[in-house]
């Protein structure tokens, strides 16, 4: 079951790069995200009416869920989307955000008493090197402005903090309740930004609606829920190492649907990335996590 959840997360996160690129052509980032989370709440409404979630029972639980949601959705996606909107190349953005497993490894090793074997450290570093090879042809340093670099670093901090925060403070939260709280909190933050910064400008299109539907249902609801389930059952570094694989999946998807054949360097990078992830997640004690 864990292996299926892991593969699903990798696939939907990789496809999300393509859906996001499409959506940002029709709405600026904060407006696009506001539409995304408003639609997410609309989708969750029948779910919570039919299957009653276990709502937080204290103010602290509500607070922790809201903070985790803001970090995962508003901070991470807001930063990465705005960096793309400002013109940062996909390669640079993917490479910076792919540093998350390394950041997570440093945090859990230094402050969360989760000791990593030398094999796992090597796997984390190899995985990052593999991603660099995969996206090398898309890296354009000339397009790295101060604003776009700041946005991507904010996204990296957000996704790293979000996974660890929810694991630490809301490890057993009902995922339906968590989604509602986190979407609502993100919407409260993003709508004022969309109105004041972007004047809520939207170029309506079926492609925009399709991108929003895909990202809400398959990424924000099912994908993030799969990530949280995996975080509950495995060490943070093992789960975070899967973040190396979505850029690889995006390259494969690009080849399958758009005929963009990956270079020899990208193929080598895919092999190195997969080897690094395998070294990070492999464990004799937890065989269920050996096939992300």
Q: How far apart are CA 212 and CA 207, in angstroms?
A: 9
Q: Cα torsion at 123, 129, 132, 136 (round to 10°)? A: -140
- pLDDT at position 254 is 67
**CA-closest candidate to residue 86, choices 135, 149, 2:** 149
- pLDDT at position 283 is 52
Q: How far apart are CA 129 and CA 148, in angstroms?
A: 22
- pLDDT at position 69 is 93
pLDDT one digit per residue (tens) for the chain, 292 residues = 677 887 788 788 778 877 888 899 999 999 999 999 999 999 999 989 998 899 999 999 999 999 999 999 999 999 988 888 887 766 677 778 878 888 888 887 766 666 777 888 888 888 889 888 887 777 766 667 788 889 889 999 998 898 889 888 988 889 899 999 999 999 999 999 999 999 999 999 999 999 999 999 998 888 888 877 877 766 566 677 777 887 777 777 767 766 667 778 888 888 888 888 888 876 544 433 333 3
- pLDDT at position 63 is 96
Q: Cα 102 vs. chain centroid, distance in angstroms?
A: 15
Residue 125 dihedral angles phi and psi, to the nearest 5°: -70, -40
- pLDDT at position 234 is 61
Inter-CA distances, 194 with 57, 77, 84, 180, 198, Å: 32, 14, 16, 20, 5
Longest dimension (CA), the chain: 54
Yes or no: say if 269 and 237 are a contact pair by the CB < 8 Å rule.
no
- pLDDT at position 110 is 67
- DSSP structure string for 41-84: HHHHHHHHHHS-----SSHHHHHHHHHHHIIIIIIHHHHHHHHH
Query: At 151, is the secondary structure helix, strand, or coil?
Result: helix
- pLDDT at position 275 is 87
Q: How far apart are CA 96 and CA 76, in angstroms?
A: 12
Inter-CA distances, 98 with 7, 113, 153, 160, 248, Å: 17, 23, 11, 10, 11
Q: Give me 248's structure tokens.
A: 């690889």
- pLDDT at position 111 is 67
């Amino acid at each position: 079951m864990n292996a299926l959840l892991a593969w699903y997360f990798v696939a939907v996160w990789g496809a999300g790069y393509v859906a996001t690129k499409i959506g940002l052509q029709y709405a600026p980032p904060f407006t696009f995200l506001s539409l995304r989370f408003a639609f997410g709440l609309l989708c969750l409404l029948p779910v919570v009416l039919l299957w009653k979630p276990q709502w937080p029972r204290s103010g602290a639980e509500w607070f922790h869920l809201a903070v985790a949601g803001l970090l995962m959705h508003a901070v991470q996606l807001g930063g990465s989307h705005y960096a793309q909107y400002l013109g940062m190349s996909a390669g640079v953005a993917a490479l910076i955000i792919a540093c998350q497993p390394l950041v997570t490894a440093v945090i859990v090793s230094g402050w969360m008493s989760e000791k990593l074997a030398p094999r796992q450290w090597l796997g984390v570093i190899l995985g990052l090197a593999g991603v660099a090879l995969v996206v090398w042809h898309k890296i354009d340093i000339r397009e790295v402005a101060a604003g776009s670099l700041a946005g991507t670093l904010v996204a990296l901090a957000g996704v790293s903090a979000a996974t660890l925060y929810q694991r630490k403070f809301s490890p057993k939260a009902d995922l339906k309740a968590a989604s509602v709280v986190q979407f609502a909190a993100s919407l409260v933050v993003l709508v004022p930004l969309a109105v004041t910064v972007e004047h809520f400008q939207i170029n309506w299109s079926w492609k925009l609606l399709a991108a929003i539907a895909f990202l809400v249902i398959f990424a924000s609801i099912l994908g993030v829920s799969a990530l949280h389930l995996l975080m509950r059952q495995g060490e943070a570094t093992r789960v975070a190492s899967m973040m190396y694989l979505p850029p690889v999946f995006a390259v494969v998807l690009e080849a399958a649907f758009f005929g963009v054949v990956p270079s020899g360097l990208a193929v080598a990078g895919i092999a190195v990335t997969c080897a690094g992830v395998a070294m990070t997640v492999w464990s004799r004690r937890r065989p269920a996590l050996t096939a992300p």
